[in-house]
Amino acid sequence: MNELLGRPQVFKLNRTFASFIADVQDAQYNPTLDYNKYEPGEMYVDDSDKPRFVSQEECDKWNAEAFEEYLKRKDNIEPFSIKDRHVGEVTYKLSNTADIDSYIDKLGDTVVALSDRLNWKAVLFLLDYSTPWLSQDNDYKPVKKALDYLKSIGVDHNFIGGFKASGQDLKELTKNLFWLIRCNAALPSCYFSGIDTGFTADICKHGNIHFHFYSQQDKIEVGKLATELGMTDIENEDCFDNFSATGAIKGRQIIV
C-alpha cells in the first residue's frame, strides 16, 4: 500500500525522524550559519564562463534573499533533541548482483524484509527540504519511468510531501525512488524511517543504505537482520559505484 502524506503528517508518525530532518535543514540550508553564507570574493555568477569579484553589498543582498527563502521552505517542527541519543552510523552494502536492475530488485526486497521482520509497520520516505518530487525532469529512460510511476500514484508537480508504504508497493516505490536519488542530482537528499522507530536512513546514489541510529535496540536488530540478509557493513570512504568502470553515473544530471 502507498499513501501520500503531507510533511506534518510524516513528522507526527516519527518524532526522531522529524528531529533528524530539522537538524539537517538547519545544517545544510540555514544561510545565517557562517559556512552557508555568501562571502565577498571571486566567483562564477549568472552562468558566466569567467569568475568576477562579488562585493559585500551583493553578498548581503543574496544572504537576505536566501534567509527569506529558508523561512518559507523549512519545516516548523516541534523541538525534540536527538543529539544526545545518537548511538552510531552504519553503511550497508547488498551482496553483489550481475547488473544494476538485479541489484535494484534486491534493494526493494531488502527494504521490505527489514520493514516486515523488524515490525516497522510501514516505511516513510521524505526529501530533507520542501522541494517538489517532480521538480527535475530527466530524459534518461529509467528516470523517466520512475517519474511516470510517481505520477501514476498521485504525485503532481506541487507535491512536496512524503510517502508511507508497505508490502509489494514498498518494493516498487523503493526501486523507483532509487532512480531519482541516483540520477536527479538537483533533488534534496531522500531519507526514510519506520513508524516510531529510532533510526533514520538513506539510500545513496551507489545503492548502499546509510543508517543513523538513535536507539541501541534498533541498531542491534538491524545489524543482526542485515547479516542474515547477506548485507555487509562498509566504511563511508569505501562507498563507491559498483555499476561503472569509471565511477561516472549514467543519466545523472543537475538540470532543473
Percent of the chain with pLDDT over 70: 99
Tell me: do 57 and 87 sit in the same domain.
Answer: no
Tell me: do 49 and 169 sit in the same domain.
Answer: no
Tell me: do 36 and 92 sit in the same domain.
Answer: no
- Among the candidates 73, 90, 105, a domain finishes at 73
Tell me: do 56 and 171 sit in the same domain.
Answer: no
- Work out the pLDDT band at 236, boundaries 50, 70, 90: low
- For the chain, strand residue ranges (E) read 2-5, 41-43, 52-54, 88-93, 123-127, 162-165, 190-194, 199-203, 209-213, 232-234
Please report whether residue 246 resides in a domain: no
Please report whether residue 117 resides in a domain: yes
| Calpha distance 92→229 (Å, rounded) | 11
Tell me: do 169 and 208 sit in the same domain.
Answer: yes
Tell me: do 230 and 167 sit in the same domain.
Answer: yes
Q: What confidence tens digit (pLDDT) does each residue in 117-142 have?
A: 999 999 999 999 999 999 999 999 99
Look at residue 168 and give its three-state secondary structure. helix
Residue 237 has pLDDT above 70, yes or no: no
164-192 mean pLDDT: 97
Tell me: do 10 and 120 sit in the same domain.
Answer: yes
Please report whether residue 252 resides in a domain: no
246-249: long-range contacts, CB 8 A cutoff, minimum separation 24:
249/182, 249/183, 249/205
Please answer whether residues 124 and 166 qualify as being in contact, where contact means their C-beta atoms are separated by less than 8 angstroms: no
Q: Give the number of domains in the chain.
A: 2
**Amino acid found at 68:** E
Whole-angstrom distance between the N-terminal and C-terminal Cα of the chain?
30
Q: What confidence tens digit (pLDDT) does each residue in 144-165 have?
A: 999 999 999 999 999 999 999 9
Q: What confidence tens digit (pLDDT) does each residue in 39-62 have?
A: 999 998 877 788 999 999 999 999
Cβ burial 159-180 (10 Å sphere, 16+ → b, else e): bbbbbbbbeebbbbbbbbbbbb
pTM comes to 0.94
Residue 256 has pLDDT above 60, yes or no: no
- Work out the pLDDT band at 218, boundaries 50, 70, 90: very high
Q: What confidence tens digit (pLDDT) does each residue in 56-81 have?
A: 999 999 999 999 999 999 999 987 88
Angle between helices 216-228 and 100-117 (to 10 degrees): 130
Q: What is the mean pLDDT of the chain?
A: 93
Tell me: do 186 and 62 sit in the same domain.
Answer: no
Please report whether residue 243 resides in a domain: no
Please report whether residue 251 resides in a domain: no
Please report whether residue 27 resides in a domain: no
Please report whether residue 46 resides in a domain: yes
Residue 235 has pLDDT above 80, yes or no: no
Residue 97 has pLDDT above 80, yes or no: no
Tell me: do 40 and 161 sit in the same domain.
Answer: no
Tell me: do 66 and 193 sit in the same domain.
Answer: no
- Work out the pLDDT band at 28, boundaries 50, 70, 90: very high
Tell me: do 154 and 210 sit in the same domain.
Answer: yes
Tell me: do 158 and 198 sit in the same domain.
Answer: yes
Query: How far lies 190's CA from each of 96, 184, 193, 206, 230, in Å?
Result: 23, 11, 11, 14, 24
pLDDT for the residue 179: 97
Domain that holds residue 68: 32-73
